[in-house]
Amino acid sequence: MVLPVALVRSFFVALCAAVLAFAPAHAQQGWTVTTTVSWTWEDVGGEDGGALFDDDEALAGDEALDAEADFAPARRYAPSATLATAGRARAQYGPFAVVDATTVRMAGDVTSATPRQFAAMLAAFPGLKRLEMVDCPGSLDEEANLILARAIRRAGMETIVPSGGSVRSGAVELWLAGATRRAAPDAEFGVHSWADEYGREANDYPPNDPVHAEYLGLYRELGMDDARARAFYALTNSTPFDEVRYLTRDDMARFVALN
């Protein structure tokens, strides 16, 4: 049986009072009892008290994301002097601006919170099918970026870089993740190496390091054969982290099918 929170708190306070009441008078002198009860349970239930959370992911929650902010995750980011905006929107979820029932625009970078924001957006607007990528400088958290890319793929969304649009660094993977992909003739794709929290770049790791398999595996999931996956990964890593190499729509068409 699970006791209600209020009852547990009342019982604890009463117990402290009883201890003081029966303590010798000299022992009571100078005592200060401060009772602080902090409850962060999201759910209490079940026949045997139940689990406080459904799983480890729920246990982590926003607090874990805040804690992770103390560390510097691997990143791929190429900001511009001025960042374009997504314009007027019905709703905003981080870098995502919902335009109508089927279209969302993206302008901004990917952080550890972005996959959660994307999931919340889809829950609120399940009919979204088009992701227009206006100005996307990349990722401040590569792990989150890979999670988001797979979420875009699972959602079956079409990814579009409109005229004047720019996707750079980790955002290129997000465009690649589209179930179908389109890009205007003047769309630009900026690529370069990722860098980890120690400043090491992709080419600083040996070829057989598991970190490379994460990217190669993703590219295969997104429709590249092994040769194209390796060629694209090598192309991105041929440019250092602090530089950007710009590719065109036709360059990208060498690696994936465009619609």
Query: According to the model, what pLDDT value does residue 48 have?
Result: 37
Q: Which residues of the chain carry a pLDDT beneath 50? A: 1-72, 81
Which residue type does 56 have? Answer: D
C-alpha angle 222-207-190 in degrees, rounded to nearest 5: 50
Query: According to the model, what pLDDT value does residue 89 have?
Result: 77
Query: According to the model, what pLDDT value does residue 81 have?
Result: 47
Cα–Cα distance, 196 to 209 (Å, whole number): 14
User: Exposure pattern of 152-165 as b/e (b: 16+ CB <10 Å)?
Assistant: bbebebbbbbeeeb
Residue 134 near residue 165, CB atoms below 8 Å:
yes
User: Over the stretch 23-48, which tens digit does the pLDDT of each residue have?
Assistant: 443 333 333 333 333 333 233 233 33
Residue 214 near residue 233, CB atoms below 8 Å:
no
Query: According to the model, what pLDDT value does residue 58 have?
Result: 35
DSSP state for residue 202 in the 8-state scheme: G
Query: According to the model, what pLDDT value does residue 85 have?
Result: 57
Query: According to the model, what pLDDT value does residue 83 have?
Result: 54
How many other CB atoms are there within 10 angstroms of residue 144's CB atom? 23
Which residue type does 131 have? Answer: L
Q: By three-state DSSP, how is residue 138 classified?
A: strand
Cα–Cα distance, 178 to 159 (Å, whole number): 5
- Domains of the chain from N-terminus onward: 5-52 (no CATH), 76-252 (3.90.226.10)
Residue 47 near residue 79, CB atoms below 8 Å:
no
